[in-house]
């Protein structure tokens, strides 16, 4: 997740609605679609890891091609309004409302191929019954395990680079630099020191880091607010909070439960414009974000909210 807060008033969404929709189309790509820029310069491609591991050398061209693009499914690039409703925030932003850009994506085919490769290696090294094969592991004491750790961390940094490239493109098109940026990982693994002194690998699948003072973003749906949060470092949750509202309906069930007409009416009522997207991402497929936030008050402090207004997803 990555959020850019611009020194522009929320009224820009109504005043320049058509222009902002065009900017989303021009500066975002989803699924297999990529930018055809002749030069995608980014420091990530100078990383020594690309020369140290065979699989990373093989995947470098794919990573280069997909830089600045987003996946399909629930990934998005959207304009909205951030309401900063607290004082003393680390960014120095005064309380108020701002035009903002929020993105959700990952490490694209680069990360997926890394995960797939080392999953196969793990299955070959750790023989388990067929029903448990996907639980195969690689020890960090092994050569393959350390390779996976190095590759995974590079993929995480690449995911961040993709977000930054999207936000750079949008800032250039808007002709203004952001006042502040908030970014956080999820579906990732970290080495962390526990209060009792143990060092553990914490894997947050569907969860976001919420260490003491750590900023993050917990999104709702295409019509419901997301929240800017600051972690409390609650040890009982391994310093974690939810990644988002979470689904209440599977993708298949959502497609069976809503029609295109239903979605249009929901969007109109919420004052949200949608580019792309599908019934599997209908707002009704998600839990009530307000209830989700109320259930984790002991995990995070809410510092502000993001209200989506123009949403771009895969077609």
* Active site (catalytic) residues: 243
Q: Closest by alpha carbon to 180, among 84, 106, 104, 105?
A: 84
Residues 3 and 101: beta-carbon distance below 8 Å: yes
Q: Looking at residue 278, what DSSP letter applies?
A: -
Return phi, psi of residue 143, to 5°: -65, -45
Give the total residue count for the chain: 315
**Tokens representing 133?**
């094969």
Please say whether the beta carbons of 257 and 281 come within 8 A: no
With 0-12 CB in 10 A as exposed, 13-18 as middle and 19+ as buried, what is 153?
A: middle
Instruction: Report how many helices (DSSP H) and strands (DSSP E) the chain contains, helices first.
Output: 9, 12
Cα 314 to Cα 227: distance, rounded to the nearest angstrom: 23
Instruction: Give CA–CA dist 112/144, Å, rounded.
Output: 17
Cβ-count burial 12-24 (b if 16+ within 10 Å, e if not): bbeebeeebeebb
Comparing CA positions, the residue from 41, 49, 242 lying closest to residue 155 is 49
143, with CB counted inside 10 A (0-12, 13-18, 19+), is exposed
The token duo for 241 is: 């909070």
| Gyration radius from the chain CA atoms | 20
């Amino acid at each position: 997740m990555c959020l850019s807060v611009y020194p522009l008033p929320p009224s820009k969404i109504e005043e320049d609605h058509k222009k902002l929709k065009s900017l989303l189309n021009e500066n975002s790509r989803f699924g297999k679609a990529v930018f055809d820029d002749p030069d995608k310069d980014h420091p990530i491609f100078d990383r020594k890891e690309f020369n140290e591991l065979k699989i990373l050398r093989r995947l470098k061209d794919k990573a280069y091609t997909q830089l600045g693009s987003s996946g399909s499914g629930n990934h998005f690039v959207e304009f909205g309004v951030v309401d900063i409703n607290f004082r003393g925030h680390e960014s120095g932003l005064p309380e108020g409302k701002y035009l903002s850009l929020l993105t959700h994506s990952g490490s694209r085919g680069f990360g997926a191929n890394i995960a797939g490769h080392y999953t196969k290696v793990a299955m070959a090294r750790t023989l388990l019954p067929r029903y448990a094969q996907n639980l195969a592991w690689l020890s960090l004491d092994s050569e393959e395990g350390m390779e996976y750790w190095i590759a995974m961390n590079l993929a995480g940094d690449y995911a961040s680079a993709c977000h930054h490239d999207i936000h750079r493109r949008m800032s250039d098109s808007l002709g203004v630099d952001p006042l502040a940026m908030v970014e956080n990982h999820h579906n990732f693994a970290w080495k962390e020191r526990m209060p009792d002194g143990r060092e553990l690998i914490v894997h947050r699948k569907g969860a976001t880091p919420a260490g003491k003072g750590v900023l993050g973003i917990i999104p709702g749906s295409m019509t419901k607010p997301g929240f800017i949060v600051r972690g409390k470092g609650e040890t009982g949750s391994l310093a974690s909070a939810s990644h988002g509202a979470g689904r209440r309906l599977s993708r298949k069930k959502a497609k069976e439960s809503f029609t295109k007409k239903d979605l249009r009416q929901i969007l109109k009522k919420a004052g949200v414009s949608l580019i792309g997207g599908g019934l599997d991402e209908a707002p009704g497929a998600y839990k009530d974000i307000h209830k989700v936030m109320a259930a984790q008050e002991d995990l995070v402090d809410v510092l502000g909210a993001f209200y989506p207004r123009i949403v771009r997803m895969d077609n």
